[in-house]
């Protein structure tokens, strides 16, 4: 793993410790979604990512390591929630025209 990814993993592990004690894992993972997206885009598999997080010191509240299945499920759920919260840009008049032409078989009718 390159030094930049190691720094990001250490930052993830460091964020688990809050001023009043451990922070919830889901909350910390949410802050580092870009790290997991970058790892997956780079071809890392979930077992590899789980191993890297464990090596960086990321632990569950009970002290155990975070499994690949737990990471995969949590990151998937967080990404879906993030996608739902993103604003949707309004369609332009050109987009609406394209959609209407596509729905009408690709041809505008002269009488309508």
> Is 11's pLDDT higher than 90?
yes
Type and span of the H or E element at 57: none
Q: How remote is the C-alpha of 4 from its chain's centroid? A: 19
Q: What does the DSSP 8-state code read for residue 108?
A: -
- Segment 5-18 mean pLDDT: 93
- Please state the rounded mean pLDDT for residues 39-48: 95
* Average pLDDT, integer, range 35-55: 95
Q: At 17, which helix (H) or strand (E)?
A: strand 17-18
Q: What pLDDT was estimated at residue 93?
A: 72
């Amino acid at each position: 793993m390159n030094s930049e990814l190691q720094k990001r993993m250490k930052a993830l592990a460091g964020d688990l410790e809050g001023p009043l004690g451990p922070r919830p894992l889901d909350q910390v993972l949410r802050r580092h979604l870009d790290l997991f997206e970058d790892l997956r885009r780079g071809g890392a598999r979930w077992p590899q990512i789980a191993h890297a997080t464990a090596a960086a010191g990321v632990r569950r509240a009970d002290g155990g390591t975070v499994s690949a299945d737990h990471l995969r499920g949590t990151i998937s759920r967080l990404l879906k929630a993030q996608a739902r919260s993103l604003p949707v840009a309004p369609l332009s008049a050109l987009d609406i025209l394209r959609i209407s032409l596509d729905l009408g078989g690709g041809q505008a009718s002269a009488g309508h």
